[in-house]
Chains A and B, each alone.
Chain A
Amino acid sequence: MKLPQQEVKALLKSTMKILGEQLEENESVSLSSLGILSCKTSKEKKSFNVVSREYWLYPPKRSVKFAASTTLKAVLPTKELNHEQ
């Protein structure tokens, strides 16, 4: 690929924007050879604070999950990386 850096940056920015929009619409996005980005909605939940003896109701929440593809899993190192965070 012979593209100027500015153009690549703009293209990637557009890509990320579209990915965000798709995830916002609760759609999974498949990136071939990398994996699938999906959005999961967790229901509202009630919790009890044992210290204050109070019940709290938390609103529903959406979070982004990633499942690696088999292609990516296959190329992952079989030994622990030293600089792994």
Chain B
Amino acid sequence: MSNNKLSFTELVDLIAQETGKPKSLIRDLLHEFISVTSDGLTKDGSVNVADLGRFFLKWYAERSGTNPKTGEDITVPGHHKVFFKPAKSIRDQVNKTFAHLQANKVDTAQVISESKPVVEKTVPLVSTASPNKVVAPVPKPAPVRTKKETPKKKENKRRRWLWLLLIIPILLILYLWPGLLKDEKVPDEPAMLETPVVQPEVIPITDSPDKDQNPVANDTLEQMPEEELSETKAEVESVPEPNHPGGTHITGPGDRFRVIAESFYDHAEAWPNIYRVNQDIASNPDLLYPGTRIQIPPLYGNKDSYTEKDMEQIAEGYILVYLAYKKLEEPTAKHYLWAVQKWGSRELLELYKTRIDPNDLQKNDQIDGFPNF
């Protein structure tokens, strides 16, 4: 089929030849037809020509646009456009060639499975007149998207895996870094492994002779060199067992330090030794609340023969009792200061000199002997 253009003159000739009328008449008729159609479009906006179709106008409103060449903003004014809708007779006549063809459903499974050959995969259109007859080969339908990976996707996937393989070791190193550092320090400090750090021994509140005479715990002894160990063992063997081991005591109604000392030491006069380690609990030596847990320090001597250490501790207890009574403004406080001379040396008084009232100290100097409390 050729795509030639039939000019107006040729059309006139054809019509004249067909109808047998003069060309001038046909030309005038066509001019008149065009004139009427043009006028009808201009005035009414629509002209219907029988057996040909309908000419009609469509209005396009004003709009802003851009000149693609200059880039300038322009305003496209409102205008009409002429459209033509052919009559059904013309449409049928024009489509006479393809009238026997109908839309054909394509087998989806066939489309998906067939992917390679191009020519063989065309789906023929079947003529309605003879259904079995293949009318025209139809090009292969557009390939259906499958999950097949393209080379680009494969490359991207490979890159992602490479990044992952690179990042995972870095994260592992960062996670294990503190541990690695710790391990590296070990060779620099071998002694740390050989001799573990010995935690400082917790010394009980009581100033028991254990602190001085048994200064080392059994665990520590095991880790000491042999020479030191033998010396320490000798010291431990030489330490005597306390006559009054001490302990703890929960006070009952009517309990006083003197009574407790009588109970634990068999000697009431040694009660300041108990007060010495419990002065925080009882600010007033004469007052003890029932249910109070008090510590009883051990004494290595007995009523008739105290050790030097026992004497010093009891003397210090007397000083603390003096200070407590002095704080309570008890007039008898100075009497306890006198007792210090019996139990301890004057050096102890010198130690507490700043806290002792000088007047009480002078009186203490003037008195010989120990008053009977």
Contacts and interface: CB of A to CB of B under 8 A. Distances in A.
Given A28-B4, A46-B106, A53-B108, A62 B97 contact: yes
Interface string A21-43: 11111111111111111010000
Contact of A76 (B61, B80, B93, B95): B80
Contact of B29 (A11, A46, A64): A11
Interface string B77-92: 1111111101001110
A62 B15 contact: no
B63 to A, nearest CB: 14
Interface in B42-92: 42, 44-46, 49-53, 55-59, 61, 77-84, 86, 89-91
B36 to A, nearest CB: 10
Interface residues of B, number: 74
Interface stretch (B18-26, B168-176, B258-266, B276-284): B18-26
B19 A59 contact: no
B101 A56 contact: no
B42 A66 contact: no
Given A11-B21, A75-B42, A34 B50 contact: no
Interface in A31-85: 31-37, 39, 44, 46, 53-66, 68, 72-73, 75-81, 83-85
A77 B80 contact: yes
Contacts of B49: 16
A57 B15 contact: no
A57 B102 CA distance: 9
B86 A57 contact: no
B373 interface: no
B2 to A, nearest CB: 7
Interface string B150-174: 0000000000000000000000000
Nearest to A44: B138
B6 A28 contact: yes
Contacts of A16: 49-52
B91 A18 contact: no
B6 A55 contact: no
Contacts of A54: 105-106, 108
Contact of B58 (A14, A26, A55, A84): A84
Contact of B42 (A8, A23, A56, A76): A76
Contact of A64 (B25, B38, B53): B53
Contacts of B44: 81, 83
Contacts of B78: 78-80
B361 interface: no
Given A46-B142, A57-B106, A62 B30 contact: no
A19 B37 CA distance: 16
B3 interface: yes
Contact of B32 (A1, A20, A63): A1
Contact of B1 (A25, A65, A73, A85): A25
A26 B1 contact: yes
Contacts of A36: 5
A64 B94 contact: yes
A64 B89 CA distance: 12
Given A28-B6, A59-B125, A60-B101, 11 more contacts: A1-B25, A11-B29, A15-B11, A15-B15, A21-B93, A55-B105, A56-B104, A57-B105, A61-B95, A64-B86, A77-B80
24 contacts: A1-B29, A1-B32, A11-B21, A19-B52, A23-B94, A24-B93, A24-B96, A27-B4, A29-B6, A30-B6, A31-B8, A34-B34, A34-B37, A37-B84, A56-B103, A57-B125, A57-B138, A57-B141, A63-B86, A72-B41, A75-B42, A76-B82, A80-B59, A84-B59
